[in-house]
Each structure stands twice: as C-alpha cells, then as structure tokens.
C-alpha cells in the first residue's frame, strides 16, 4: 500500500483519486503534537454532488449483482484492510492520537463488520404471506434503499465507516462517505483498500471537506435515500430535520452519558478494571464511555481507593510508543470542555482523588491526567453533559430502586453498565435501564454481530447484527392476482 492519498491531496470519487473542484485543501493535524501531518481536499457542494452522481450511476450495477458477488467484494476489502493493518493503524494514531494497541484493535473491529456483512448479504430473505383470496398471492421483497450518505466522527475513524458501509453495501446500496475533518486520512486509507478489493467504480466514494456544505448537498439531493450518521446529538438533530424535506431514511448514533453501577456483591477487582476500561479507553472519547460511576455505599471506600490506585498507573503518552495507554484529547476545544467539567465539579464541592491536570511534557498536544472525582452531586455539569474525556466521577447509592431512577434520569440512552454477581440483579437492571446497550460485568460490549444503538436522544436505528442491515433495506409488498 502506498501513502499516495496522504501525499497527493486527493479524495476518492467514481473510482478515481481526485482534487476538490476548486483545488483547495485543508491540513490534518496530529493531536499529540499540534503539527500538520498532511492535507486533504477541501471539498464542497459541487464535490458532494459529483460523488452522488457516481453513486447513483453505480447503483443499478451494484444492486444488480448477486448477493454472492457482493459478499466476495466485501471479503476482499476485509482482507485488504487486515493485510495492511499496521500501516492503516499508524495513520490512525497520527491523526487521532489513540495508543497503537487500540488503533490495531479498531482496525480489526472495523474489518469484522465487512466479514460479518459479507455473510449477511446472502441472507436478505423475503417472505410469502397467506392471502385472503384463493386467487391472490402475497410476496414481500427486501430491496436496497438506494444511495446512502455516511457521515462519520473522529473518535473511531475506521470502525464508524465500516459499521455503516458494510451493511449498506451488503444490502446493495452504493455509498458516499464524509469522514470527520480531524481524521480524513484513515478514511482515505480504507478507500485505498477498497480500490485494491476491486469494487466497481462509484460504489464507494469518499469526499473530504466542509461539513455544512457537503451535508447540505446530500440532504437536499433527492437521489440520496438514506443518511447514516454518528456524532453529536446536536448535529444529529440537524440532519434529522434536513432529511425531512426529501423524507430520507435515517439512522443516528448520537451522544451518551453512560452510568456504571457497581453493586456490593460485585467482584471488586473486575468492577475496577471494567470501569477503567470503559472510562479511559480512547482517553474517554467514545460514545459508550462510562460517564458516571455509582457505587453501593458499603463498598464505596475500597472501590475508590482501588480505582485511584489503578488509574494512577495508566501511562499517558504518544500513541506510537508501545507503553502508552492514554493519548491526547482530539483538540483544544475538547480539552477546554473536559477541563470545564472538572472545574465546575470542584467549584461545587467535588474532590479530586487523582489526576485533574494537563500533562505538560508534550508540547502542542492536549494530554490530560486520568482523573477520579468524589463528592460529586447530580447537579454538576459532569453529571448532565457528555464529558468525552478521561474523568470518572464516583458517587454512592443505597439500593437498586434509587440507582436505576438516577441512571435513567437523562435525555441520553446509549450504553449502561452494571457489575454484580447476583443473577436476579443482573436481569432486573438489564430490563429496567432505559439504554440500548447494557454491559453486565462487561465494559466492552461492541461486536459486529450485536445491535448497537441508543434509546431517547442517543439515536435511531441499530448498527451491527442482522438488525443493522434492515436500516438499508426497503420492504416491498407485492399482491399478485393470478
């Protein structure tokens, strides 16, 4: 694999590596150093439209292929990504900052969607339904919805693309992709791998550039039949409104505010390790990251002590250094937000048990010490807004009734976690938490074969599993009189 996308300021449209119409570019920054590592086309309306032209022209070609043929391309793409995973992971670390081990984990996870949906492509079954007249037959077809626009975030620059694009392609849709402006290079590396897999031109297109212009062009275009988005609730709502004019199908994976509930019968070590994995992975920048930790009164002190002890051991540093466990925050505004959550909590009486400061050894990057807070109150900002950083506020609770009510008291509903060794507790909390994903003694629930998605303002639709492919299919009912 060559670094040509990084070197040539090109994006991938209609099977060609092209410049933006106006020839403009924008820089990509390494969040660990603040230095520019490359640049990509600064595409706008016209570029977005050309990508839709390509995807629209390719739609009959791609949807006309057999499921087995589509499966073949998806598997080839999967293999091309894994064959080049070190190179792609390195680019991912450079533009996103996460530790290399996590980047490699993300590439494997990203590829797993291609393999899973290569299989699911073959199982898009229809139905026959008993009719109410003897000379009628009722058939149900499941058909691809059409050109799909995928808008993706920077925190998982590879996986958020394949999680959307794999089921879309499996269903027979063609795609236009707009990666986040912070992490376009990984997306272009995935496009390189797709090119190696030999997809027909126009089936997969990647446009980098201005989010508002590209987003608006795709929302307005009646040929785009589906918008699939991961990102902030704010932008998700905007897209939902924008999709209304042409009544597009939409799926949204939005923000979260995940509670972790540690019951007194939990295995303490497992609960501490689980909280650390859920909270500090990707420096706290995942939408299913623990955002608040409720610990039952009787075990609060030993839990906090152990959590702080383990948190202090985490190594903050550059993602490419093998011992690094916590990388930088994505940019200054991310850092300022996390800092403001800590400051607001402290001003309202919270205590910093460990961390709380910027690590100054790294010029140009925003690295924050992993932080544990106690004496936290439900009114604090950190308890209401998504922090997206390495800060764990820890609170106490008395009993299940109370903690479930507090856990559900949020407009978000993406992921929630509970640690317990009691089966009854495990079932009751699983049923009563108003969240799309519940991890019981499991801080890492994301896998290709399970439906990922949120309740309430955390989103619409599901990604992954056999459920994920339905988001890209229309149901057609045929009533046939013989």
Task: Check residue 375 and report its DSSP letter.
Answer: S
Rounded CA gap, 389 and 191, in Å?
Answer: 30
Closest Cα to residue 158, out of 198, 111, 201, 204? 111
Piece of 46-54, 209-217, 275-283, 390-398 that binds ligand ADP (CB under 6 A): 209-217
Out of 211, 302, 349, 411, point to the residue binding ligand ADP (CB under 6 A): 211
Using rule CB under 6 A, residue 181 touches ligand ADP: yes
Dig out the tokens for 85 from the structure: 């995973």
Q: In this structure, are strands 371-374 and 175-178 parallel, antiparallel, or unpaired?
A: unpaired
Using rule CB under 6 A, residue 436 touches ligand ADP: no
Name which of 144 and 231 has its Cβ closer to ligand ADP. 231
Piece of 93-101, 149-157, 271-279, 343-351 that binds ligand ADP (CB under 6 A): 149-157
Candidates 287, 289, 354, 471; catalytic one: 287
Q: Contacts with ligand ADP: how many residues (CB under 6 A)?
A: 13
Q: In this structure, are strands 147-151 and 175-178 parallel, antiparallel, or unpaired?
A: parallel
Mark 232-271 with x for binding to ligand ADP (rule: CB under 6 A) and - for no binding.
Answer: x--x--x---------------------------------
Residue 207 CB, nearest approach to ligand ADP (Å): 11
Candidates 106, 195, 253, 310; catalytic one: 253
Out of 38, 153, 443, 464, point to the residue binding ligand ADP (CB under 6 A): 153
Residue 151 CB, nearest approach to ligand ADP (Å): 5
Closest Cα to residue 397, out of 445, 352, 429? 429
Rounded CA gap, 215 and 207, in Å?
Answer: 11
**Contact predicate 57/152, CB 8 Å:** no
Using rule CB under 6 A, residue 297 touches ligand ADP: no
Out of 151, 299, 407, 415, point to the residue binding ligand ADP (CB under 6 A): 151
Q: Which residue is nearest to ligand ADP (CB)?
A: 215
Name which of 10 and 178 has its Cβ closer to ligand ADP. 178
Name which of 182 and 371 has its Cβ closer to ligand ADP. 182
Rounded CA gap, 210 and 45, in Å?
Answer: 8
What is the full DSSP assignment across 286-337?
STTSEEEEEEEGGGHHHHHHHHHHHHHTPPB--TTSTT--B--BSSHHHHHH
- Quick one: CA torsion of 213, 219, 221, 227, rounded to 10 degrees? 120
Out of 69, 212, 297, 402, point to the residue binding ligand ADP (CB under 6 A): 212
Dig out the tokens for 277 from the structure: 């994995």
Using rule CB under 6 A, residue 291 touches ligand ADP: no
What is the full DSSP assignment across 38-53?
EEEE-B-HHHHHHHHH
Closest Cα to residue 387, out of 339, 434, 431, 427? 339
Helix 184-197 / helix 67-83 crossing angle, nearest 10 deg = 120
Residue 449 CB, nearest approach to ligand ADP (Å): 25
H or E, element range at 90: helix 85-96
Using rule CB under 6 A, residue 209 touches ligand ADP: no
Site for ligand ADP in 213-232 (CB under 6 A): 215, 231-232
To the query of whether residue 253 is one of the catalytic residues in this protein, the response is: yes
Q: Tell me the helix, strand and coil percentages in the chain, rounded to 5.
A: 45, 25, 35
**Contact predicate 250/243, CB 8 Å:** yes
Name which of 29 and 152 has its Cβ closer to ligand ADP. 152
Residue 46 CB, nearest approach to ligand ADP (Å): 16
Out of 180, 217, 224, 261, point to the residue binding ligand ADP (CB under 6 A): 180
Piece of 32-40, 146-154, 352-360, 417-425 that binds ligand ADP (CB under 6 A): 146-154
Rounded CA gap, 446 and 139, in Å?
Answer: 35
Using rule CB under 6 A, residue 402 touches ligand ADP: no
Residue 118 CB, nearest approach to ligand ADP (Å): 26
Dig out the tokens for 405 from the structure: 């009510």
Place of tokens 């699983």: 430
Residue 253 CB, nearest approach to ligand ADP (Å): 10
Residue 148 CB, nearest approach to ligand ADP (Å): 15
Place of tokens 């106690």: 374
Name which of 149 and 433 has its Cβ closer to ligand ADP. 149
Mark 362-401 with x for binding to ligand ADP (rule: CB under 6 A) and - for no binding.
Answer: ----------------------------------------
Task: Check residue 382 and report its DSSP letter.
Answer: G
**Contact predicate 435/415, CB 8 Å:** yes
Piece of 190-198, 207-215, 336-344, 412-420 that binds ligand ADP (CB under 6 A): 207-215
Contacts to ligand ADP by CB under 6 A: 151-153, 178, 180-181, 211-212, 215, 231-232, 235, 238
Catalytic residues: 253, 287
């Amino acid at each position: 694999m060559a670094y040509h996308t990084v070197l040539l300021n090109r994006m991938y449209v209609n099977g060609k590596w092209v410049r933006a119409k106006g020839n403009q570019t924008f820089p990509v920054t390494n969040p660990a150093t603040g230095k520019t590592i490359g640049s990509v086309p600064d595409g706008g309306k016209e570029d977005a439209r050309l990508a839709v032209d390509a995807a629209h022209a390719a739609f009959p070609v791609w949807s006309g292929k057999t499921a087995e043929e589509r499966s073949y391309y998806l598997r080839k793409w999967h293999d091309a990504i894994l064959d080049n995973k070190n190179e792609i992971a390195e680019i991912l670390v450079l533009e996103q900052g996460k530790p290399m081990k996590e980047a490699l984990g993300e590439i494997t996870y990203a590829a797993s969607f291609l393999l899973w949906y290569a299989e699911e492509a073959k199982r898009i079954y229809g139905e026959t339904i008993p009719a109410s007249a003897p000379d009628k037959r009722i058939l149900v077809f499941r058909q691809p919805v059409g050109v799909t626009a995928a808008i993706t975030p920077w925190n998982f620059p590879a996986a958020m693309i394949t999680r959307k694009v794999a089921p879309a392609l499996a269903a027979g849709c063609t795609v236009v992709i707009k990666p986040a402006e912070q992490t376009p290079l990984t997306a272009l590396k995935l496009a390189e791998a797709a090119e190696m897999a030999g997809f027909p031109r126009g089936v997969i297109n990647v446009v980098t550039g201005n989010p508002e212009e590209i987003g608006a062009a795709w929302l307005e275009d009646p040929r785009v039949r589906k918008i699939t988005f991961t990102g902030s609730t704010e932008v998700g709502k905007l897209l939902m409104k924008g999709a209304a004019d042409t009544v597009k199908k939409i799926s949204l994976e939005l923000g979260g505010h995940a509670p972790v509930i540690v019951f007194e019968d939990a295995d303490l070590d497992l609960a501490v390790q689980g909280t650390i994995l859920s909270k500090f992975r990707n420096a706290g920048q995942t939408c299913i990251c623990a955002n608040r930790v409720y610990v039952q009164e009787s075990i609060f002190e030993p839990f906090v002590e152990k959590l702080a002890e383990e948190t202090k051991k985490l190594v903050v540093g550059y993602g490419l250094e093998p011992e690094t466990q916590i990388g930088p925050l994505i940019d200054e505004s991310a850092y300022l937000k996390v800092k403001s959550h800590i400051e607001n909590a402290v001003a309202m009486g919270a205590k910093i048990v460990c961390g709380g400061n910027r690590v100054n050894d790294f010029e140009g990057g925003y690295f924050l010490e992993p932080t544990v807070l106690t004496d936290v109150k439900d009114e604090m900002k950190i308890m209401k807004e998504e922090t997206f950083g390495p800060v764990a506020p820890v609170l106490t609770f008395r009993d299940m009734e109370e903690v479930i009510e507090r856990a559900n008291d949020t407009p978000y509903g993406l992921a929630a976690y509970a640690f317990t060794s009691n089966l009854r507790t495990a079932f009751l909390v699983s049923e009563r938490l108003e969240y799309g994903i519940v991890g019981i003694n499991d801080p890492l629930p994301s896998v290709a074969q399970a439906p990922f998605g949120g309740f309430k303002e955390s989103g619409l639709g599901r990604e992954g599993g056999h459920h994920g492919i339905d988001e890209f299919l229309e149901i057609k009912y045929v009533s046939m009189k013989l």
